[in-house]
Structure 1
C-alpha cells in the first residue's frame, strides 16, 4: 500500500508595505461635477453677493440723495456705526426686535407643534379640515390678512372689542384702541405674525411625526410609558432635527419682520415707539449710508443668532 503524497498548502501572501499604502485612495470627483455648480454660484454672487458688498461699502460712506445724482461719496469710516451704536434709541429698537423675535418664535413653535400632534391623532376628515384651514391661512396674501385683522381689532366696530365688552363683561374694552399703546400694539402684531407663521410649522413638524416608527411607540406603550412620556422621550428626540431647522427659520423670519409692523403703524400707531429693525431701517431710506450701516448691524445680529442656534444644534447631534 503506497503512502499518499502530501499536498502543499500555500499560505496567503503577506502584505508588504505600511498601512498607509493599503488604504484605498479616495476617488476624486470629476471636474464636470464642480462645473455644474458654476451657474448657481454666479447667480447667488450676483443676486446676493453684490447687494451685500454694495451695502457694506455704502455704510462706510456719506451717501444720500445728492450722491444719487452724481456727487462723489465721501468716505467717513466708522462714523455711521458710531453714530448709530451711541444712540440709546437704536439700542431700544434692537432690544425690542430681539424680544419680539424670541416671543414670536417660541409661541409659533409651541402652537405649531400642538396642532401637528393633533393633526396626527385625529381622523382623516378632521385632518383634512385642519390642513385646508392651515393652507388658507398660509396662502392668503399678507395685505389681505392685515386688512381682516385691522377690522377685527378696530376701535369702533371691531369684533374683538365687542366680544370682550359684551359676553365677557369687560366694558372698558368697548372702544379700546389696540394700536395706541406699544404693549397692545405688539400683542396685535404677535397675534398676526404667529397666525401667518404657524401653518409652516404645522406641516413641517407633521411630516416629521410621520417618520416616527409605530413599532417603537407600541413597544413603549407596552412597557408602561404614558402619553406624555412617549411624546417627550421618544417623539421629540426623533423629530429634533426638524424642530431645530424650523426654529432657526422662525428666528430669522421674526427678526426681520417688516410688512405687518409697517401696515399697523400706518393704521394709527405711534411710529417711533413701535419701530422694529425692519421698519427703522426703512425710515432711514433717505440716508442710504445710515440705512446701510443699520442693515449691516442687523445682518451681524442675524448671523450671531443663527450661529449660536446652529452651534447648539450640532452639539445636540454629537451627544
Structure 2
C-alpha cells in the first residue's frame, strides 16, 4: 500500500522543473554568432564615398606624377602636346648619382628634426603652463593659440620677414642695443644657418598651436591624485613628470610628434615666401628642389622623380603614424 507524503505547504515551489523558455525570436542568442556578411560590409560602405573622392582628387595626379618620372619630358613635348619618350629608371639613376640631391635630403632631414624638437619642447612647456594657470588665463592662451593657428602662412612669413629686415628690422634694432653688439644692416639670410634659424621660427610659430592644445588636452587625463601622492613621497617635479605625467600623455605626444615630422618634411611655402620666390641653393629642401627642377630649370621628369622620392619618404612617416593610431586603439 502506497501512502501519500506530507502535504506540500501552500505556495511551496513544485519539485517539477519548469521548462526553459527560448529567447525572443526562437533562434537562440546572437552573442556568440559571427556577424553576417552584410554587417561586415557596413563600415566599408560608409567609408567608400571618402575613398572614391580621394582617389578621384589625388589618384590621377599621383599616377601621372609616377608615370612622368619614368619619361623624359621637355618643353618640346609640352608645347607640341606629344607623348614624351620613355626613359625607364634614367631619372632615378641621375638623381641617385647626384651628390647635391643627397645634400638636399640630409638638409631636409636635419631641418625636420630641428623643427620637431623645438616645436615639441615649446608645446610641452606651453601645455604645462596652461595646466597651472587660472581658467580665464588658460582660455585667453587658447584663444591666442587658435588665432595664431588661423593665421595664413603668407601673413606669418611677411611678419617674420619684416622682423628680420636688414634695414628696418625690429630684431636687428633690439640686438643692436646690447653692449658691444653691432647688427646694423645685418642680413640674416646671408648665412644659411642664420637663415634657417628664421625659417625654423616661422615653421614652429605655425605648428605650435596644434601641438600645445593637443598636449594640454592630454594633460587633463592625468590623475591629479597620482601626482600628489608622488610629491608626498618626496619625488621631485622632474621625477613626477617622467614617471607619472609623461607615461599618460605619451600616446598623444608620439602622435603629435609624428604628424609634425610629416608636415615639416614637406615644407615649401615658408622657404619660398621668406626668400621672395628666389631661394638660393643653400635653402633647397626636397619640396623646393622638386619645384625648381620642374618649373625653373624645365626638367619636368627629374622634378617628378624627386617628388616621387619625397612621397615615398613621407609614406614611411605615414606608416609610423598609422601604427601609433592602431596601438592606441588596441590599448583602449
Partner of 1:266: helix, strand, or coil? coil
**Residue 20 of structure 1: aligned partner:** none
Structure of greater relative contact order (alpha carbons < 8 Å, 6+ residues apart): 1
Superposed CA deviations along residues 168-203 of structure 1, whole A, max 9, x for unmatched, are 4312x2221101111111111111111111111011
Contact kept, 8 Å, 2:251 with 2:328, in 1: the verdict is: no
Deviation of 1:125 (Å): 3.0
**Residue 71 of structure 1: aligned partner:** 82
Aligned residues: 309
Q: Larger Rg: 1 or 2? A: 2
Matches within 5 A, 1:233-272: 233-266=243-276, 271-272=280-281
**Residue 205 of structure 1: aligned partner:** 215
1:232 and 2:245 correspond? no
Partner of 2:275: helix, strand, or coil? helix
* Structure 1 outlier segments of 4+, above 4 Å: 1-5, 7-10, 308-319
1:25 and 2:37 correspond? no
Normalising by structure 1, we get a TM-score of 0.86
Q: Give the alignment partner of residue 288 of structure 1, picking from 300, 305, 315.
A: 300
CA 1:124–1:312 in 2, change beyond 3 Å: closer, same or farther? closer
Deviation of 1:266 (Å): 2.2
1:40 and 2:50 correspond? yes
Q: Tell me which moved more, 123-132 or 43-52.
A: 123-132
Q: What is the alpha-carbon distance in structure 2 between the residues aligned to residue 178 and residue 250 of structure 1?
A: 25
Normalising by structure 2, we get a TM-score of 0.83
**Residue 27 of structure 2: aligned partner:** none
Q: Give the alignment partner of residue 114 of structure 2, picking from 92, 98, 103.
A: 103
**Residue 11 of structure 2: aligned partner:** none
Q: What is the alpha-carbon distance in structure 2 between the residues aligned to residue 268 and residue 89 of structure 1?
A: 18
RMSD across aligned C-alpha pairs, in angstroms?
A: 2.9
Q: What is the alpha-carbon distance in structure 2 between the residues aligned to residue 105 and residue 95 of structure 1?
A: 15
Contact kept, 8 Å, 1:59 with 1:292, in 2: the verdict is: yes
Q: What is the alpha-carbon distance in structure 1 between the residues aligned to residue 34 and residue 236 of structure 2?
A: 49
